[in-house]
Each structure stands twice: as C-alpha cells, then as structure tokens.
Amino acid sequence: MAADLIDLVPRLGRPRALVVGDVMLDRYVWGNADRISQEAPVVLLRADAREERLGGASSVATMLQALGARTSLVGVVGRDADGLRARQLLTDLGIDAAGVAADPARPTTVKERYIGRAQDRHPQQMIRVDYESRDPVSGEAEREVAAAAAALVRDADVVLVSDYDKGVCTPAVLAKVVAAAKARGVRVIADPTRGGDYGKYAGCSAVTPNRLEAGLATGRTIATHDQALAAAAELRDRLGLEAGLVTLDKDGIAFAHRDGRSVVFPTRPRQVYDITGAGDMVMAALGLALAAGADYDAAIRLANVAGGLEVEKIGVATVTRDEILADLLHAPFRAAGRTAGAAKVVGLPQLLADLDRRRAAGQRVAFTNGCFDVLHAGHVQYLAEARRQADCLVVGLNSDASVRQLKGPTRPLNPVEARALVLAGLQDVDHVTIFADPTPLALIRAVRPEVLVKGADYRKSEVVGADFVEGCGGRVHLADLRDGFSSTDLIDRMKAA
C-alpha cells in the first residue's frame, strides 16, 4: 500500500494554481450506431444526447478544481457563442476566468466527438471534428494574455502551461510567465506541444511531454526505459530545467532530476476505456501535489494514480481526491506473489495504521467478526449489509484454535489462511485480521469501530463490545440473516451426500 500517498491526499489543502494555455470546448454527441446509411457506406449514428465539457488548458483547470485547488485560467476564446459557453462553464465550476481574453479574429477551439453505442452499450468514439485556428495570437491579444498571466502569478502556488499548439503559448507569453514566476520562486510546469522548437520552454521548472512528443523534440526513438530517461535528461539539460519528465502511458513516467535522480515510476494495469484527457490529468495532479509541497517523487506517483483513473472513464473526465484515496486503499497490487485479495489480510499494526489514514480522510469504520468456515450466500448478504453501514469494513476472523474452542475439535474444515483469502476476495470486505482470543473484545477495543455489526439472531445486550462501541459514540447494527443458510447445516448436508 502506498502509505505515504494515502497520508498525502488529506494534506493537499487548497493551493492556488494558475493555468496558461489553449482554452477549448469539448462537445460530445452520443447515440446508437445501429445500421449503415443508405446514402453511403458509413455508420449511421442515431443521436440521443449532447454534452459539453471544457478541454485543453481549460480541461487542466477543470481537473485541478475537481481536485480541490483554487484555479485561475489564462487563455483566449473567440467572440462567439462557443466562447460564451466556455466562459459560462468555467464560471459554473468556480474557476477564475478573468484572464481569458476574447479575440474577434479567431474562433473558439471546439473538438466535437461522436460517440456510438452498439446495441445500447459499448460506447466508442467514431469520429472527431475540430473547429480551430492554429495561428499564434498576436498584437493586442498576445499582450493581454501575457499581462494577465504575469499578474496572476503573484497569487499562485504553481503555474501550469498547457500548450496544445492553438496559438496562445507564444515565446513572448511564456517568457513573461517564466520571468514573473522566477521572481516569486514559483514552479512552472509545461506540457509542451508536439514537435517544434522547445526553446520557448527554457527556464521552466519541468516539462512533461509524452513518448511521441519527447521523441520528436530530441530526435530519439523511445521504446525502452533507458531511452525515455535519456530523453528526459536531454530536455532537462537543454532547457535548463529542474527536471525532465516523459509520460509513457501504460509504462508510467520517466523522471530525470538535476540532482541526479533518474527513475521510471511505473503505473499499474488498468481497464482502459478512453485515453482522452489522461495527459491533462497527470499534469493537474502533478501540479496540485507540487503546489501542496510534495516532492517530485510523491507528486509523480500521485499523478500516475490520477491518470490511471481518468483512462477508466469515457472522454475528458475529472477525478476527485476521494476517488484517488479509494484507489490507493483498494489497489490490487500483487507484491511478493500475493494475490490482490491477500493484500487485504493484515496484522493489527498495519490495520490500525490504515484505519488512522482512513479516518483522517473522513471515513467511518464498521467491524464484524466470525469463523466464516464455509462461506455461503447468507454470509455474502450479511457482509454486504455490514459494509453499507460505513465507508470501510473490517472483518475479525477467528484463528483455527479459537474456532475449535467454539465449534469443537472437528472444526474448522478450512484453515485460517484459506478462510481469510476467501473473505478478502469479496468486494465488500476491506480488511481481514485474525484474532486468537476467545472473544473479539480486545480487537474491538483496538479498532474502535464507529459501527459494530452482528447478526439479528443476537440481542444487542449479547453483542461482545457493544457497550464499548456505544460508549465511544458509535452504534450497534443487527444485520438481517438469510433464511435457510447455516454453515453447520451445510456441512451436515455435504456429509450426508
């Protein structure tokens, strides 16, 4: 478990972030793609929904805002209906858009995506249509953008440059931003455009090109970790950066710092639905963590988690701190050959440390206990109801010796390792910890659950630990039991068969 990241998330605070770059409007048209057009051999999309989101630099701003930052945006829109819509979306999200200029000489950048569903499921992007000007802003618009950015740097904890090559991030604009940030000791992190001269990013704290962009900028083929690290180091040295980063999609992020650190931070496998917006999310999470005072190592690892969550969603989507924390707490990592479920089976010290982190993040803990010798549908239903009582469910599992004390010398049928692994495989179970005492009272006192759960075949006065939990301000919940299910009856039927 990434304990340091779990500790970091609640401490991120509300840093002030300034985003400079290309404001875009992402429009999605959804529908069923259920036949071929009679006019041409193309799929016919029967549209049934339309959605608008912010893209480009405004996507980074949106993601920062969703992550809890106080965000300002500097960029350019056209003096048109799409520009008004983009401004309204920014205002609705609480993003400071006073630095977004309106240029009558150019349209607002719009990316229109058509998303088709086959048989009312499996949405897939069919085509994207772009409306844009890629000419650099000039004259009054350039001066307005540069002045707004330099003024807003004074109140920022970090500056993120999101360059989609739509004309806003000119050398003059970036030079003014970098100079203002250096005067205040504020980091500038740039997500650069593809190809072109990277000289305009000189003096930034770091750049975060992807594999293709870094390859074009350095003239390298980037197929291995060593090649990615070499490209990151070259960009760092050539541009006078604090660090060079190269994002490697499913392979993580290559990081080369001027203090000598050179490492690839891996990411874990994900169910990828749509890579759109992943780079923006990495940028937003990286900037947020650095603004909150995190070191690059922790910031990059947090960015990997946030980017991984984003690709599990359709289109450009936001991720919240709660989602990141939940992913960290439930990450199905496989260490030392252990299965994902086995990672939930923990000793008391690790359990208590994790519960402290959860409570620091505002989560409540439910606890139940039992032998769970032969798991059946009644157990599954019971544990699901127990999990609904709080944000986290801890199951105290009787050791083999304590099961024999309770059930007799022929039990348990399954050793404690097997019982623990089966329980840990259930989605509703967050942690399994084994206890050897005749009763779970000592464990309950250590865990201090907000909710103590037992079956409805008990009276509250019979529940071990009830007085302690209620004395601490918690409550006791008696869960319904499913008729016709009993481990003892099930074992007897199996023997008879």
Name the 3-class secondary structure at 266: coil
- Three-state DSSP string of 322-369: HHHHHHHHHCCCCCCCCCCHHHHECCHHHHHHHHHHHHHCCCCEEEEE
Check if the beta carbon of residue 27 is closer than 8 Å to that of residue 114: no
Active site residue 22: no
Name the 3-class secondary structure at 162: strand
H-type alpha helices, 119-202: 139-153, 171-184
**Residues in a beta bridge with 160:** 19, 189
Which one from 103, 157, 280, 391 is the annotated catalytic residue?
280
Amino acid, res. 192:
P
- Three-state DSSP string of 7-53: HHHHHCCCCEEEEEECEEEEEEEEEEEEEECCCCCCEEEEEEEEEEE
Residue with tokens 């940030």: 181
**CA atoms of 460 and 458, how far apart (whole Å):** 6
Check if the beta carbon of residue 26 is closer than 8 Å to that of residue 59: yes
Give the DSSP H/E element, type plus range, for residue 417: helix 416-424
**CA atoms of 14 and 292, how far apart (whole Å):** 8
By CB atoms closer than 10 A (0-12, 13-18, 19+), residue 348 is middle
Give catalytic residue positions: 280
